């Protein structure tokens, strides 16, 4: 009745963030609303983007909520 393993889409999320989220982050980081308002540390975000771009660390799934919130705020202000 219950499957032995629960489905896990982590690998798909990581792929999507690396393929599409990291380049998007590179474009948004220059004038981030969340950084300007002080909710996100800009230097740490830039350092994380550099690590992801260089491939020296796996993509942190917390990048998704940042991107979603940033894009949502931008949509509200346009």
Helix (H) or strand (E) holding 15: helix 10-16
Q: Do 73 and 34 contact (CB within 8 A), yes or no?
A: yes
Task: Look up the pTM and report it.
Answer: 0.78
Q: Which residue has the higher pLDDT, 10 or 36?
A: 36
* Residue 68, pLDDT score: 93
* Residue 66, pLDDT score: 94
Please calculate the CA angle 9-54-41 and round it to the nearest 5 degrees.
80
Q: How confident is the model at residue 74 (pLDDT cuts 50, 70, 90)?
A: very high
Q: How confident is the model at residue 2 (pLDDT cuts 50, 70, 90)?
A: confident
Residue spans per domain, the chain: 11-77
Nearest residue to 28 (alpha-carbon basis) of 77, 73, 71, 76: 71
């Amino acid at each position: 009745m219950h499957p032995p393993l629960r489905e896990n889409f982590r690998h798909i999320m990581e792929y999507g963030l690396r393929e599409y989220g990291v380049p998007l982050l590179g474009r948004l980081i220059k004038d981030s609303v969340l950084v300007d308002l002080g909710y996100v540390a800009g230097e740490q975000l830039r350092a994380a983007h550099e690590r992801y771009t260089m491939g020296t660390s796996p993509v942190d799934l917390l990048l998704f909520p940042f991107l979603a919130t940033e894009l949502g705020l931008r949509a509200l202000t346009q």
